[in-house]
Structure 1
Amino acid sequence: MSAPTKTRYTAKAAMESRWFKPLVVSLGIILVFGLAVLAARLLRNTQPVGDFIERYHGTTALPVDAPVGIPPWLGWQHFLNMFLMLFIIRSGWQIRNSSLPMNWRRKKPGRFLFKNPGKKINLAIWWHLSWDTLWVLNGVVFFALIFATGQWMRLVPLSWDVLPNALSVAIQYLSLDWPLENGWVNYNSLQILTYFLTVFIASPLAIVTGVRMSPAFQTRVPQANKLVPMSVTRRVHFIVMLWFAVFILVHVTLVFATGALRNLNHMYASQDNNDWIGFLIFSASLLVLVGGWFAASPVTIRYLASFSGNVTR
């Protein structure tokens, strides 16, 4: 009788382990991905889908005055956005798990949303809002430059043909037979739709919901909860965070899977070739990210927060 009891206990303990759910989810993702690849390869071998891909190869024409290439400032913007987004997601997760048992209170009152009438907030919230502020400022510069230089034309769908072309690209990607493309001149339609959703939909949603959840906004505009409940705002904000996380994962994977040296040269070296300069710059940027990650300890966060407020346990 003891053996079955031990087996049941072991199985129960395994299911209650903190690694059980992530393992099941990971295996489920792998299974779904494998089935999607199999389905895509089978579809590509059919006559209708083959004709569809031949007609919609994956890209749409840009205006004649659209810029060609990726300028150095866009490479810097890309790195800064990656750096800031890393700590925004990390600090947001710290808020969710309450991993910073300290509070922060402004030394001097600010104005409007930044006004803090003697109210303490968790240090994790201060840390998150600080990175949010830098990210928004970087975004303002980004929007100003893309509209001043015409780079916005490479990120915005300009015809309805982008939809069938995006579907064609998705089938080609899933079949693991990459579409022919040249991101230096024009992104494929699936990239355009993804970049558009990230830059012009997800990013504003992150800002609006983040401001709505900020303690200062709740103090200044208490009637907002009647229009948009906090539970809805938090759910949307979390979904946007998941979108960014999935986007980063897929984006990095495809950068390396579809020609790493050339893609890294486009974004980090502002040149269209296959040498190792972009890879070396990218490697240096990873060192900066790793260094920043380990430097952002609770002691460091408390020290930085002390410049603008009082930190207490």
Structure 2
Amino acid sequence: MKPRPAAATTAPAALRDYSPVQLLGSTAVLGVFALALVGIAVLLARFVLAIGPGRDFLAAFPGEYPLPASAPVGLPAWLNWSHFLNSFFLLLIIRTGWQVRREKRPSAFWSPRTDKRRRISLTLWFHQALDILWIANGVVFVVLLFVTGQWIRIVPTSWEVFPNALSAALQYASLDWPTENGWVNYNSLQQLSYFAITFVAAPLAIVSGVRLSGIWPKDAEKLNRLYPAEWARKVHFPTMLFFVAFIVVHVALVLATGALRNLNHMYAARGSVDPEAYTSDPTGLLIFAASLVVMAAAWIAARPAVLVPIARLFGEVKQR
């Protein structure tokens, strides 16, 4: 018998070389190293803000700048719903995107009724279906953002946004949270982050995703040369990682900087110009908890037994 190629055995053997104790030890060491880096960053930020130039910078740029007089106050209910749907779809998009990337032998394939020769895995079909719903929700969100004037809250209107964003970052790093009330005005770091996720990351995810999807014309040679699939792959996966990093940091800061007040803003459309208002109201927390239950249920339900009947409404499904 011919010996198996080295490439087929190297990776699994490399994993088997480490015992569970060694893997646990390595994880512990990396965790301690990460905590040490965080500690150094906190001490450095505290030092910068404690010296004279740091104090002067903080006084000149407290972390936010005044919005135009026409800026709306508060978060409407439609924004709460859009926020939830965005979170819901993104969670499943990230999950199915990772599954598509790692899937070797799909359990089922989907084909459109108009072209049965073309087929994609059921996971990829679900991923693309979620993409369509996520884009539709995003289009409605952006339209309402500009119709209602809410765009002023997340689109920078002054160059002061940059030094104020640096100030807010230093305050976060020092663990002395910036004083802000998201019901009235986001701090500049939040504003830049929300602008980037809405008007930079989301369009990049869409444009690169369309290039990799089945709707892209395969026979358009000139178009394919202008926009190769390799470029789209190099953009699409890092963009997903950016979304994951944003979600982790966003949720952590929401919970750490006044969870009840922030959740009331984001899920219950409750808030006030008084930053101390709604700091003991559990309404937003209860709605947030309910949304987590819905997401968990969708995560569990996203399996062939549930997806196959749905996919058959839009095409043909063949299972192994």
Q: With structure 2 as the length reference, what TM-score do the two structures score?
A: 0.87
- Distance in 1 (CA, whole Å) between partners of 2:142 and 2:157 is 18
Corresponding position of 1:130: 129
Alpha-carbon separation, structure 2, partners of 1:294 and 1:235? 30
State the distance in 2 between where 1:90 and 1:17 align: 29
Greater mean alpha carbon deviation, residues 278-287 or residues 225-234: 225-234
Quick one: structure 1 residues 103 and 259, their matched pair in 2 at CA, closer, same or farther if it must change by over 3 Å? same
Structure 1 residue 235, shift from structure 2 partner: 1.6
* Pair 1:176 & 2:181 matched: no
Distance across 1 between alignment mates of 2:112 and 2:24: 40
Matched, 1:78 2:83: yes
Match of 2:37 in 1: 32
What is the match of residue 8 of structure 2? Answer: none
Counterpart in 1 of 2:10? none
The alpha carbon displacement at 1:295 in A equals 1.1
1:292 counterpart SS class = helix
What CA distance in whole angstroms lies between the structure 1 residues aligned with 2:15 and 2:245?
34
- Which residue identity does 1:76 align to in structure 2? W
**Compared with structure 1, are the counterparts of its residues 222 and 124 closer, same or farther at alpha carbon in structure 2 (3 Å cutoff)?**
farther
Question: Which residue of structure 2 lines up, in the alignment, with residue 96 of structure 1?
Answer: 101
Aligned Cα RMSD in Å? 2.4
- Report SS of the residue matched to 1:223: helix
Amino acid at match of 1:180: T
Partner of residue 258, structure 1: 257
Q: Is the 8 A contact 1:14 1:20 kept in 2?
A: no
2: distance between equivalents of 1:134 and 1:17? 44
User: 1:148 aligns to what?
Assistant: 147
1:140–1:19 distance in 2 versus 1, CA, 3 Å: farther
Q: Distance in 1 between matches of 2:224 and 2:27?
A: 34
1:232 positional shift: 2.1
Offset, 1:225? 3.1
1:14 deviates by: 3.9
Amino acid at match of 2:76: P
- Give the AA of the match of 2:111: R
Query: Does the 8 Å CA contact 1:261/1:278 hold for their aligned counterparts?
Result: yes
2:9 paired residue number: none
Q: Percent of aligned positions with the same letter in both sequences?
A: 48
CA deviation string 1:78-106 (max 9, x = no partner)? 00100000000001011001163321101
Give SS of 2:110's match.
Answer: strand
User: For each residue in 1:230-258, what CA deviation from the matched residue of structure 2 results, as whole angstroms up to 9, or x when unmatched?
Assistant: 22211211111011101110000000100
Distance across 2 between alignment mates of 1:268 and 1:170: 25
Q: Secondary structure at the match of 1:291?
A: helix
Amino acid at match of 2:53: P
Separation (CA, whole Å) in 1 of partners of 2:26 and 2:112: 40
TM-score, scaled relative to structure 1: 0.89
- Equivalent position amino acid for 1:58 in 2: G
Aligned mates of 1:198, 1:309 — CA distance in 2: 33
Task: Report the 3-state secondary structure (helix = DSSP H, G, I; strand = E; otherwise coil) of the residue aligned with 1:185.
Answer: coil
Q: CA deviation at 1:24?
A: 6.5
**Does 1:186 find its partner at 2:194?**
no
Q: What residue is the counterpart of 1:221 in the other structure? A: 220
8 Å CA contact retained: 1:70, 1:267: yes
For 2:269, the aligned partner's letter is S
Change in CA separation of 1:16 and 1:199 when aligned onto 2, cut-off 3 Å: farther
Please, which runs of 5 or more residues in structure 2 have no aligned partner?
1-13, 272-277
